[in-house]
Amino acid sequence: MDLLDSPSDAEGPIGVFDSGIGGLTVVAALRELLPAERIFYIGDTARVPYGGKSRRTIERYSVEIAGLLLAEQAKLIVVACNTASALAVPRLKQIFNLPVQGVIDPGAAAAVRASRNGRIGVIGTRATIASRAYEQAIHALAPEAEVFAEACPLLVPLIEEAWFDDEVTGQVLHRYLDPLLAGGIDTLVLGCTHYPLLREAIARVAGPDVTLVDSAHNCALAVEDILRVRGLAAPARQVGSLDVALTDATEGFLRVAEQALELQIGDVKLRAVQAAG
């Protein structure tokens, strides 16, 4: 397939997408680090979650959403979804002739830097954990590291319900994290972009001796480096902005995320996609 070119230049937006709203954690990090950049975010809320779907389906969804970002003149695509980063980034790089940055490699690198004993825990969706993407990325940097992974399918629904401090959420976290903690991990990768919204609750269960790593800030640093190397950084005079589009109306949780992340989100656009499947 021929590569699809981006018609944008340095003044174009950074295109960011996630299966839902969780990728706004990456947007918040980008806004803080790169205040002059325009950002166009698409949350595929009509088809969330991606975590239980097949590789072929996730690839199809990701290509479709990336195409919508290309139509917005995106100069770079950030896959702010761990599941899509694990399963679809290679396909996106084949199809689109513009930089594509996922969240797996930056998160893995940060975990390796943070770990003192080489025992690293990873939590994520079923698809992310089954892909072993974090394990492979960590071992590429630190072959001797021990990786303890746990799929946590109930966390995203709890976060979407804004049950950040609920007793049920604490019980679920113990169910997922206790086996990892028993393995002696000193670092825990939050391998889903929703999970930083649950950071305080996770920290309470994990305890003070476990360093929590989320890929949002490290992904933003990787984007900054790409923009510099490719000569795509926004002009200093440019005023940064954030546009948010969803594939289905999810205003309730969007506003919770807006408050939790201190983002200013104006009118939300809708973008049509194929029916879920």
The catalytic residues are 81, 192
Half-sphere exposure of 120 (CA within 13 A, CB side): 30
Q: d(Cα 214, Cα 219) in Å, to the nearest integer?
A: 9
Is the peptide bond preceding residue 235 cis, with omega within 30 degrees of 0?
Answer: no
**DSSP per-residue string spanning the chain:** -PPEEP---TTSPEEEEESSSTTHHHHHHHHHH-TT-EEEEEE-TTS---TTS-HHHHHHHHHHHHHHHHHTT-SEEEE--HHHHHHTHHHHHHHEES-EE-SHHHHHHHHHHH-SSSEEEEEE-HHHHHHTHHHHHHHHH-TT-EEEEEE-TTHHHHHHTT-SS-HHHHHHHHHHHHHHHHTT-SEEEEESTTGGGGHHHHHHHH-TTSEEEEHHHHHHHHHHHHHHHHT-PPPTTPPPEEEEEESS--HHHHHHHHHHHT----SPEE---PPP-
Q: Which amino acid is at 219?
A: C
